[in-house]
Every structure is written in C-alpha cells, then in structure tokens.
Homo-oligomer: A and B are copies of this chain.
Amino acid sequence: MFPISFGSDNHSGIHYTVISALQKVNVGFCPAYGDDPLTAAVLAQLEALFGGDAAATFVMTGTGANILALQSVLSSFHAVICADTAHINVDECGALQKCIGARLMPIKTPDGKLTPKLIAPLFLLDRDQHHSQYKVISISQSTEYGTLYTLEEIRALADFAHEHGLLLHIDGARLANAAAALNCSLKELTKDAGADIISFGGTKNGLLFGEAIISFVPELSQDIRFYRKQITQLFSKMRFISAQYEAYLTRDLWLECARHANAMAGLLAEKLAEFPQIKLVNKVEVNSLFVKMPAAWIPILQEKYLFYTWDEAKHIVRLMCSFNTLEEHIEEFVESVRELAHSK
C-alpha cells in the first residue's frame, strides 16, 4: 500500500510476535489500569532487567514517557538541561512547558551529545530567585542525530549531574538500539552508568504502543501514578501493554529487533559508500544514516521512498532503518541511487 520507508522507525509495523501476544492475552476478563497479575509480573521482569531497586511504569506514548518521567522529579521552577536537538526541545510542541510549567535550557552541540564541558558554563552564573533552578540533565540515547554516548560518557554526565545536585534523565526511545550497538546490558547502560530516570521505548522497535519509565529514584518519583493519570497517560486495558512487553523481553526480542535495525543501517551505509556523490555526515552508530547527496536526487528518490530532508540548505537527508527493514528494501533503494548516479 505504502512505499518502502526510510522515513522513521515509527513508519514500521508491529512485530508478529507482538501481534500474537495481543491475541494470546485477549481472553476473558481482566482488571483494568494495571491491577492484574500479568502487569505486576512484567513490571517486575523489567525492573530486574534494569538491575533491581528500580520502579517501572507503563505509559502509552514516547512524549508521555518523557513528560511523566520528568514531571515525577521536577517542580515548575526547575530547568532541564538538554541538547538543542533533543526530542523534548524540538518535537513535543512544548509539552514540558504546558504539563510541568518548567523550562528547558537547550545547548548547541556538534553531534546531538551533551558533555560536562558543554554544560559547565551554565554553572558559572548565580541562579537566585529570579532564575529557574537546574534540576535535570536530559540526554537521548541514542540521540536524534543517530549518535551514541559511550558508557564512560554517560558516567561522566551522571557524575557531573550528581556533583551539582542534579539528576540524569535518559530519553530512551531508542535505548534498545543503543544497547545493541554498545553490546551491553540495559543495566550497564543505565543504572551502572549512573542514570536516575529513563524511558525504555518499545513503539519504535516493534511494539504497537507502550513505553516504560524506569526510575532509580523511587522516593522521588513515588507520585508518578497520580501524575500518570493526570496527564492522561494511564491506559485502561493495561494487560495489552504488559503482554507486548512480555513478548518484547522474551528471548530478548527487543535486542533482536534493535540489532537488525542497526545492521540494516550499517548495510545501507556500506552499500552507499559505492557512490562518490554521497557522503555520510556522521559515523553510523545505530539505525539511522545522515547523508549528503546531490540536491536533485532527493525529490526523485522521494517519489519512490519515504524519507525526510534533515538540512535543506546542505541537502542532507536522514535514512532510518527499523526492525522490519529488509535487505531487499536496501537493495532496491541502492539500485535507485545507482540509476541516478549513472544517469548522467
């Protein structure tokens, strides 16, 4: 029905295992709003996966996960330090400002990644009653720019945050891709690296919907269940999120899907290397490529493939792979590029 898409990992569908899980749990009756044993079990499984001492909470959307995670630790007079490319800054229509009343303090970065060095200048100025108080450093792992924090880089940010009395939040809409790329566990990637509150995304990696918030500061986020309802993120038929997550965790489906998406991006990069007219802007670390190509090619390719221009002036496009990107999609795309490359 629709063309092949490298537009976003949310252009993909649902993993068949997840559909099966929905069907399997679709029997009889079940208490709503999470008061069911399946939900309790899957939350416990998630908490164990992140290393224990965590509190897991399900929400419906990625923006919901970010806003609720931050709401649970912020007051309205707080500020969140983030990269200026962060989803919370760019793509959430001011949800944080509306729902929390707090402000963002976005920082320009070369590659979508914050560092203590980039943040430090903020702390040179006094912040008195006239100023929002810094409370959270929020990073995206992997970033909106397709880049990746190493475990050491996360640790350095967590240490910096804690030294200044702040918390480290990870927008993990693509945390699975990061774990796959870094070949580490979710625990190593978050708790062990010092993160305080994170989201663990599912929708972009094979689920129908449903995101998990993992808090390592449960005493700070004890009120999360009230905020969840209040920002309209409490799902009634919760067993259907739980069942998806059960499938997602079984035999590491989350990892398999993420590895596949990453591998497809790697393959695409490899094959595009054939064309001198195309330049990779960043190293391909997870499931997206940012490539510069001749301006004239873009609209021609977009007739056949879904993908977005990232920087019009520099004719950079983003190509994103997902769990259901196939080798033949890539071959077809590369073939189309080859035609363009040889057409003149």
- A: which residues have CB within 8 A of B? 1-5, 7-8, 10-14, 16, 19, 22-23, 25-33, 36, 60-64, 67, 75-77, 79, 90-95, 97-99, 101-104, 124, 129-133, 203-204, 208-209, 223, 225-237, 240, 306, 312-313, 324
Contact = CB atoms under 8 A, between A and B. Distances in A.
Given A19-B23, A22-B22, A232-B63, A33 B76 contact: no
B92 A101 contact: no
Contacts of A232: 60-61, 63-64, 67, 92, 95, 99, 231-233
17 contacts: A2-B28, A7-B29, A12-B29, A14-B237, A19-B26, A22-B208, A62-B236, A75-B227, A76-B230, A77-B223, A94-B132, A99-B101, A99-B230, A130-B234, A203-B236, A208-B208, A208-B237
Contacts of A33: 129-130
Contacts of A227: 75-77
B77 A129 contact: no
A75 B224 CA distance: 11
B97 A76 contact: yes
Which residue, of A64, A93, A208, has the highest number of chain B Cβ atoms within 10 A?
A93
Can you list the 4 inter-chain pairs with the closest CB atoms, starting with the nearest? A5-B29, A77-B226, A98-B101, A93-B229
Given A77-B223, A97-B103, A240-B208, A2 B29 contact: yes
A29 B7 CA distance: 9
Nearest to A6: B29
A36 B79 CA distance: 28
Contacts of A101: 94, 97-99, 101, 230
A229 B129 contact: yes
A5 B27 CA distance: 12
Nearest to A98: B101
B14 A30 contact: no
A11 B8 CA distance: 34
Contacts of A203: 236-237
A31 B2 contact: yes
B230 A95 contact: yes
Contact of A99 (B14, B63, B98, B132): B98
A343 to B, nearest CB: 26
A226 B133 contact: yes
A184 to B, nearest CB: 27
Given A14-B26, A61-B235, A63-B229, 16 more contacts: A1-B27, A1-B30, A5-B29, A76-B230, A77-B98, A77-B230, A79-B94, A90-B130, A91-B131, A93-B230, A94-B102, A97-B101, A98-B99, A133-B226, A208-B208, A208-B237
A215 to B, nearest CB: 16
A130 B229 contact: yes
Contacts of A16: 26
B30 A2 contact: yes
Given A77-B93, A231-B231, A232-B99, A2 B240 contact: no
A11 B27 contact: no
A94 B203 CA distance: 28
